[in-house]
């Protein structure tokens, strides 16, 4: 008989084969029936995706739920502990909760949104001080940012991107090469410029999930792949410790792969949550 703690940070699974807290629960339930499991009662939240696994372990006599086990304060966003709550509500399309969380965040953790990438870069440069780090990030499915000189196909070396100095064109400080969720997962910047493409689109009450194939955007039907995409944006939106600016392209009515209809609802949604425009 043993006791085991399951620490986790929700919503970080971004690739096929990457398992979350549900895999931990399944493994303990199947292989260690005598163990006492002490679990945060907040694992029912959407980003943990514990679902059926949580339901299964809750039937065990030696499973214990405890509010005290939930680590509610993010050590990454030291200026504002509610950043993760804001991002969660934003991605869950819980507008009221997102607006409330943003109101608590914005005094100490600046967040802005813009349709102009040059303005986004200027915003970053105006806020960063001294040796504070900053960089440009994008989803690995953000295939139609190339007209804005953001090409996620460029091979970014995370060592150069994170560690090299401001004089090196390969570094994040140059604001030229965009790192994806795979290159920044588990790491952090002081300030981030998050570029938001048409792969994840706000649809009024939920998200549309898309993958660019050949010459067009295609709907993503797989629930797992949808979750990975949503989590990719969760990783990007919680990357920075001190603040961020979000760039949502204006689109181009003459380009069917970059219709303004793909981008305007997302920008408007962020504005509805209280995020100021620059």
Which ranges in 92-222 belong to alpha helices (H)? Answer: 95-105, 117-127, 158-163, 181-184
169 lies in the same domain as 51: no
Q: Is 74 domain-assigned? A: no
On the question of pLDDT at 233 being above 90, the answer is: yes
Neighbouring-strand partners of residue 5 = 38
Q: Is 58 domain-assigned? A: yes
Q: How many CB atoms lie within 10 A of CB 227?
A: 19
Q: Is 278 domain-assigned? A: no
Quickly state the pLDDT bin for 2 (edges 50, 70, 90): very low
CB 98 within 8 A of CB 90: yes
Q: Which of 45, 69, 93 is the last residue of a domain?
A: 69
Quickly state the pLDDT bin for 33 (edges 50, 70, 90): confident
On the question of pLDDT at 17 being above 70, the answer is: no
206 lies in the same domain as 118: yes
pLDDT digits (tens, 9 = 90+) for 40-67: 766 655 555 555 666 777 777 778 777 7
Neighbouring-strand partners of residue 257 = none
192 lies in the same domain as 222: yes
Q: What are phi and psi of 194, to 5 degrees?
A: -95, 115
Q: Is 277 domain-assigned? A: no
On the question of pLDDT at 6 being above 70, the answer is: no
158 lies in the same domain as 217: yes
The residue segments making up the domain with residue 192 are 83-272
124 lies in the same domain as 166: yes
Q: Is 75 domain-assigned? A: no
111 lies in the same domain as 234: yes
Overall domain count for the chain: 2
15 lies in the same domain as 108: no
45 lies in the same domain as 142: no
Quickly state the pLDDT bin for 31 (edges 50, 70, 90): confident
Q: How far apart are CA 250 and CA 47, in angstroms?
A: 29
> Read out DSSP for 46-112?
GGG--HHHHHHHTTSTTEEEEGGG---S-SSSTT-TTHHHHHHHHHTT-HHHHHHHHHHHTTTS-EE
Instruction: Report the candidate in 54, 63, 11, 3 with the shortest Cα–Cα distance to residue 230.
Output: 11
pLDDT digits (tens, 9 = 90+) for 97-133: 999 999 999 989 999 999 999 999 999 999 999 999 9
Q: Which of 40, 69, 98 is the last residue of a domain?
A: 69
pTM of the predicted structure, to 2 decimals: 0.78
pLDDT digits (tens, 9 = 90+) for 152-177: 999 899 999 999 999 999 999 999 99
63 lies in the same domain as 197: no
């Amino acid at each position: 008989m043993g006791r085991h703690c399951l620490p986790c940070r929700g919503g970080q699974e971004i690739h096929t084969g990457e398992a979350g807290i549900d895999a931990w629960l399944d493994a303990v339930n199947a292989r260690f029936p005598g163990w006492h499991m002490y679990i945060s009662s907040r694992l029912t939240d959407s980003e943990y995706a514990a679902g059926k696994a949580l339901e299964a372990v809750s039937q065990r006599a030696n499973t214990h739920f405890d509010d005290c086990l939930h680590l509610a304060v993010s050590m990454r966003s030291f200026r504002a502990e509610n950043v993760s709550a804001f991002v969660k509500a934003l991605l869950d399309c819980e507008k009221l909760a997102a607006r409330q969380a943003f109101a608590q965040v914005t005094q100490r953790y600046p967040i802005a949104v813009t349709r102009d990438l040059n303005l986004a870069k200027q915003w970053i440069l105006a806020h960063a001080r001294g040796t504070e780090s900053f960089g440009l990030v994008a989803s690995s499915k953000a295939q139609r940012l190339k007209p804005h000189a953001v090409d996620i196909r460029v091979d970014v070396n995370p060592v150069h991107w994170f560690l090299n100095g401001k004089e090196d064109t390969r570094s994040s400080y140059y604001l030229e090469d965009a790192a994806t969720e795979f290159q920044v997962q588990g790491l952090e910047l002081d300030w981030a410029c998050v570029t938001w493409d048409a792969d994840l689109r706000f649809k009024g009450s939920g998200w549309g999930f898309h993958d660019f194939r050949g010459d067009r955007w295609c709907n993503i039907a797989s629930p797992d792949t949808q979750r990975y995409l949503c989590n990719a944006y969760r990783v990007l939106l919680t990357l920075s410790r001190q603040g961020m600016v979000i760039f949502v392209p204006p689109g181009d009515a003459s380009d069917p792969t970059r219709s303004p209809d793909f981008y305007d609802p997302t920008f408007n949604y962020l504005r509805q949550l209280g995020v100021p425009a620059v």
